[in-house]
């Protein structure tokens, strides 16, 4: 029964939110500095992945 409510809650989250909660989960016991560092780290990681993807895509388009 508990799994069903967890599955429904995860279905309502967007892909970005599911990635966020799976990579660096924020626990209720985390302090403010830990929460800020986890949020910042995730967003920096997401920006880095986006830039690498754009760079590789641009290089491939240039070659073609």
Take residue 51 and report the two structure tokens written for it: 């830039």
Q: Is 25 inside a domain boundary?
A: yes
Extract long-range pairs of 4-10: CB within 8 Å, 24+ residues apart: none
Please, what is the end-to-end C-alpha distance for the chain in angstroms? 53
Identify the pLDDT of residue 36: 93
Is the pLDDT score of 53 beyond 80? yes
Interatomic CA distance for residues 39 and 35, integer angstroms: 6
Per-residue model confidence as pLDDT tens digits over 3-49: 555 566 667 878 878 888 888 888 889 899 999 999 999 999 999 99
Domain count, the chain: 1
Q: Is 4 inside a domain boundary?
A: no
Which comes out higher in pLDDT, residue 1 or 54? 54
Q: Is 1 inside a domain boundary?
A: no
Q: Is 26 inside a domain boundary?
A: yes
Prediction pTM value? 0.68
Identify the pLDDT of residue 17: 83
Contacts of 38 (CB under 8 A, 6+ apart): 24, 26, 30
Q: Is 5 inside a domain boundary?
A: no
Q: For residue 42, give its domain range.
A: 15-63
Q: Is 9 inside a domain boundary?
A: no
């Amino acid at each position: 029964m508990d799994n069903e409510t967890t599955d429904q809650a995860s279905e309502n989250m967007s892909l970005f939110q599911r990635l966020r909660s799976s990579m660096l989960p924020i626990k209720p016991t985390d302090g403010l500095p830990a929460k800020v560092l986890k949020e910042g780290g995730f967003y920096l990681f997401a920006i880095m992945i986006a830039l690498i993807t754009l760079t590789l895509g641009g290089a491939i388009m240039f070659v073609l």
